[in-house]
Structure 1
Amino acid sequence: MTLRSLPLFVRLDGRPVILLGEGEPAAAKGRLLARAGAVPVGEAADAALAIVAIEDEAEALAAIARLKARGVLVNAVDRPSQCDFTLPAIVDRDPVIVAIGTGGVSAGLAAALRQRLETLLPARLGALAQALYAARAALRQRFPDMAQRRRAISAALAPGGALDPLALPEGDLNAIAATIGAAAVATRRTIRLRSADPDDLSLREARWLADADWLVAGPDAPPAILARARADAGRSATPPAEAAGLVVTLIAPGGPL
Structure 2
Amino acid sequence: MRSFPIFLELEGQTVILLGTGEAADAKRRLYARAGAVFTDDENADARIAVVALEDDAEAEAAVARLKARGLLVNAVDRPHLCDYTTPAIVDRNPVTIAIGTGGASAGLAKALRQRLESLLPQSLGQLAQALANARNAMKARWPDGLTRRRAIDAALGEGGVLDPFSANASDAVEVWLQQGEEGGSGGHHEIRLASQDPDDLSIGQARLLAGADLVLLHGDIAPEIVARVRADAMVIEADSGQPALGEDALIIALYAPD
Give the alignment's TM-score, normalised by structure 2.
0.90
The equivalent of 1:75 in structure 2 is 74
How much does 1:152 deviate?
A: 1.2
Moved more, 68-77 or 164-173: 164-173
The one-letter code matched in structure 2 to 1:82 is L
Please state whether the residue corresponding to 1:243 is helix, strand or coil. Answer: coil
Structure 1 193/27 Cα, relative in aligned 2: closer, same or farther at 3 Å?
same
Structure 1 16/252 Cα, relative in aligned 2: closer, same or farther at 3 Å?
same
Runs in 1 of length 4+ with deviation above 4 angstroms? 238-242
1: distance between equivalents of 2:60 and 2:235? 45
The equivalent of 2:46 in structure 1 is 47
The equivalent of 1:28 in structure 2 is 26
Q: Deviations over 1:43-92 (max 9, x none)?
A: 23121111011112222222222212222211111111111110000000
Please state whether the residue corresponding to 1:228 is helix, strand or coil. Answer: coil
The one-letter code matched in structure 1 to 2:62 is A
Q: Deviations over 1:173-220 (max 9, x none)?
A: 450423532224352222111111211111221111111122222242
2: distance between equivalents of 1:57 and 1:234? 44
How much does 1:147 deviate?
A: 1.4
2: distance between equivalents of 1:169 and 1:17? 38
What is the percent sequence identity of the aligned residues?
Answer: 56
Aligned ranges 1:188-227 → 2 under 5 Å: 188-227=188-227
RMSD: 2.0
Aligned residues: 252
Please state whether the residue corresponding to 2:117 is helix, strand or coil. Answer: helix
1:38 aligns with 2:36: yes
How much does 1:168 deviate?
A: 3.7
1: distance between equivalents of 2:2 and 2:56? 25
How much does 1:149 deviate?
A: 1.2
Q: Deviations over 1:103-135 (max 9, x none)?
A: 122111111111111001111111111111222
Please state whether the residue corresponding to 1:189 is helix, strand or coil. Answer: strand
1:248 aligns with 2:252: yes
Give the alignment's TM-score, normalised by structure 1.
0.90
Moved more, 236-245 or 83-92: 236-245
How much does 1:221 deviate?
A: 3.0
- Contact kept, 8 Å, 1:88 with 1:99, in 2: the verdict is yes
How much does 1:222 deviate?
A: 2.9
How much does 1:235 deviate?
A: 4.1
- Contact kept, 8 Å, 1:187 with 1:247, in 2: the verdict is yes
How much does 1:100 deviate?
A: 0.6
How much does 1:242 deviate?
A: 4.7
Please state whether the residue corresponding to 1:108 is helix, strand or coil. Answer: helix
Gaps of 5+ in 1: none
1:122 aligns with 2:126: no
The equivalent of 1:97 in structure 2 is 96
1: distance between equivalents of 2:206 and 2:172? 27
Q: Deviations over 1:130-157 (max 9, x none)?
A: 1112222222222222111111111111
2: distance between equivalents of 1:85 and 1:206? 30
The equivalent of 1:228 in structure 2 is 228
Gaps of 5+ in 2: none
1:4 is matched with which residue: 2, 13, 17? 2
